[in-house]
Structure formats: structure tokens, C-alpha cells
Amino acid sequence: MATDVQIAVRKIVSTNPATGETLREFECASEVEVHAAVIRAHAAQPAWAELGVRKRIAILRDFQTRLHLHKSEVAQLVAREAGKPYVEALLTEVLVVLDAARFLIDNAYRLLRDERIPHGNLAMKAKSGRLVREPYGVIGVISPWNYPFSIPATESLAALVAGNAVVVKPSEFTSLTAIALASLLHQAGVPQEIFQVIVGDGGTGATLINVAIDKLVFTGSVPTGKLIAQTAAARLLPVVLELGGKDPMLVLDDADIEIASRGAIWGAFINAGQACLSVERCYVHRSLYGPFLQACVRQTQQLRVGNGMDPETDIGPLIHQRQLRQVESQVEDARAKGARVLAGGKRLPEIGANYYAPTLLADVTHEMRIMREETFGPVLPVMPFDNDDEAVGFANASEYGLAASVWTRDRARGDSLARRIQAGTVMVNDVVSCFGISEAPHGGVKASGIGRSHGRVGLEEMVRIKYLDSDLLPGMEKIWWYGYGNAFQRQMEGLLDWQFASRLGQRLRGAVRAAGALKGKKPD
């Protein structure tokens, strides 16, 4: 007797974290649907690659125009779905993507075209070599909720202009933003099969990793990144992993207190601290420690917390309750171990369920979780130091190495210290904005990840490098082919002397001995 098999359908909900409003409910893509999306991408990708870089750039230019026209709609959607202030969505999401498109429009053809490789080896002068950059095929992108438009868009634009197809699995909290990105790309002329969004949860992302994609770009937590790296290693799947940070800020004894404190407040609280580039550790020279804290208290008390759609709002909500509990737990751990809470340190239930007051902590130590674990919330912990060497030691005393900043009136001193800090990016007298510099690579060292996005280096991540070599004398037998012997051995010794001997006389004698070989003549 036949029986019906019921398959449970997993669902996810996009919710406005500021209000709790349900924006839309989705069914998670099934394994079959994920496989089908990648198969469609593989089938369509060769034609997309054959289109040529110039035509793909023209499509990017159209996308850029459309995004500019719809900038307010996109920013509003990001503000509703991710909770950040509308103006932050304009600057850190829309502007970043518009400029990333500008960079690729201006530079992709030059950076992707064949590159001639000169040969310095005298024996290889009759060859012409060049590097050819070829698309991988299908790039999988698993993107986070904190920058739901700019992160998948910048990565995808680079992959697309290089001739790849892209399949994006957005965070389950911000699916609508990824769908809006897909709509703009499709309207600009990117074929449906070349850019696809598969909506789902962590299981959906796991399926994407295990299907026949050719490379994966992942942004997320260290534990998840390590699991992905292990899975990818089993089939040698190349990956780019951006795994967050615990970014230090070093305020030297000659820093401008007002400027540095304002930078610290913005760098710690932008997007409610939910940024991998947030200032999560602030080290201040002991001579400035008290005045710096006073300036930070004053500025923190002036911040306005609320719904991101209110133009007066500076700081929005956390994305969900789980994130709020993580922040709260670290603050309470610090308080229990002796940290002073100079501002904030509490929930704001009178505003909404996901709000936490911007918090300033003093007298923190490295024994506290707040100085070791990624917080991803609106907290600025401040700790004093006595000299530059100690400050650098504090900055490097972390498993993370995404970004850092040094604050000083002496640019040369700042640059010198920046070179000693273990991080993918170090800024002098600014924070976070490196993500908006399209020419600059983004990525970290240590537990902060593998590989880079953005700029020339990020574009190189989207192509395979092939070396192509053409012999200019195809009718001539090569001297290194068989036909060895004592005389040939002496010729080769002469060739090495000619190229690499330290004395001129030895080099000249070597040239005479090697002359016959270089003419293609082997001794009888």
C-alpha cells in the first residue's frame, strides 16, 4: 500500500529588528534547488565568459546607474532589515557598492587582460610568455547580515566582471536585501542564471559548499569559517574567508584627544558595533587616559538610540536577541572582574527588545572576555599603556588580525608603528573607512581569515592564473633535449658561468664555451 512521505519545509523570517515587524517569510531552498541553481550557473557561465570584459563592464556601468537611481529605496530596505540608520546604509552600503563598480569599470579591462612575462634566462630568450587570467566558473558567496548589501555586492561584482557565474546564499536575517541586489543586476543585463540568490539557513549554506562550485567566498564567524575550511580542504576547493576581528585602536601620547575620542566613539558604535572593523579594543597612553575617557563619556551621552528610519538616530538596534545577550554577557563579565562602566551597560527596553545602550568601559584587562572575544555590539573598552612597545604588544595579543588604527600627530611615527601591528589593514588617524576604499584590499591575518576582497588583489581572487608560453623558433631543436655528453656538459657549464659568474673574465670565457649551444648547435 502506497504512503505519502511528508518532507518538512524549513522556513526563515525576515524581521525588522527595530520594531519586530515581520517583513517576509521564506521557505529555505532545498538541496535539490541548490544543486539545480549551481547546474544552471555552470551551463550559462561559458557564454558569459565569452561575452568579453568590455561588454561585462558595460553591464556593470548600467548596474551602477540603476543603483544610483534607486539609492534611497536600497538604503531604506537595509535600514528596515538590518536596523542600521538610513544614512549609514547610504554611506556604508550604497556608496561602497557604487564606488566598487566605479573601480571595476575603470580598471577591470587593464587588470584582466593578458600580461607579458619577459624572460631573463638567456636560454629562454626565444620564447614569448604571458599570464592569462581565466574565470573559475561558478563562485559561491555566503554573506553576513551586518552589511547585507555591500559585502555580497562588492564580491559579486568582481566575480562577474571576471567572467564567473555567482550563487549567493545571504544571511537568513537579510534575504530581502540580497534579492534587491539580484533584481538590479538582472535589470542591468546580468542573465538570471549568472547571478542567483538561494535563500535559506545554515543548512542551505552547507549544501552550497558541498555542491560543484569552483570557489567559495565566505564572511562570518571563526568557528563556522574553520568548519568551512575543513570541508573545502577535502576536495581542494579554494576559499576566501573573512572571519571577523577584535580591532585595536592605539592612541599615542601626542594624539589630538578630541579627534581621537570622536574616532573611537564612531568606530566602536557604527552599526551598533556590529562591524568586523569596529574598534573593539582601545589602548590609550596613560598621560591621556583620564581626559580621553572624559571626552568619550561626553560624546557617548550625546548619542541618540532608536529606529534607523528616524533621521535623528545615531545608533540602531542589535540584529536579534542572541546578539544582545552576547554583548550583555561580555559587559557583565568585565564588570564582575573590576571594569568601570562609565556609560551605558544596560538594555533599553523602553525603546524596543533589541536595543542596548552604547557602553563605555574603563580599567579593563586582558583577563576579561570583552578584550579577547569578538563583541559585535556597541561597547568601547579602554585600557591604558605606558609606551609604544607596550601598545604594539597589546595590539598583537589577540588571535585576530583584521584591522587596527594608530592615532598620533606624527605621521612618520604612526606609519612606523603601523608596520609592527599584525593586521590586514592599519589606518593612521582613522578607523573603519578602509572598507570604503575600493582600491584597497580587505582581509586579515591569523584567525581573521584567508584571502582578500576589493581592489586589484580582490579581483585576482576571482580568476585562475594560467601561464601561456609560445616558442618563437618552432623549427629548432632545443638545446636541453637529449644528446648529452662531455662536450655538451662543458657548454652548459659555460652557459652558467656566462650568466652568473662573479668575475668578468670568467663570464666572457663562459660565453665563448656556450656560444654553440645558444645557436642551437650541439657538439657531435
Catalytic residue among 276, 282, 296, 434: 276
Residue 293: which residues within 8 A CB-CB, separation 6 or more? 284, 342, 360, 362, 382
State how far the alpha carbon of 114 is from the alpha carbons of 44, 84, 161, 380, 524, in Å: 24, 42, 15, 48, 41
**Are the C-beta atoms of 431 and 423 separated by less than 8 Å?**
no
CA distance 277 to 147: 11
Strands 127-135 and 115-117: antiparallel
Around Cβ 147, how many Cβ atoms within 10 Å? 27
Helix axes 71-82, 175-188, angle to 10 degrees: 160
Task: Tell me whether residue 115 is one of the annotated catalytic residues.
Answer: no
Task: Tell me whether residue 282 is one of the annotated catalytic residues.
Answer: no
SS3 257: helix
State how far the alpha carbon of 497 is from the alpha carbons of 46, 280, 521, in Å: 49, 58, 19
Rounded to the nearest 5 degrees, what angle is found at the Cα of 185, between the Cα atoms of 460 and 442? 35
Q: What are the residue ranges of helices labelled H in 9-52?
A: 31-50
Which long-range contacts (C-beta less than 8 Å, at least 24 apart) are formed by 489-497? 491/516, 491/517, 491/522, 491/523, 492/517, 495/122, 495/123
Catalytic residue among 242, 280, 374, 461: 242
Catalytic site residues?
Answer: 242, 276
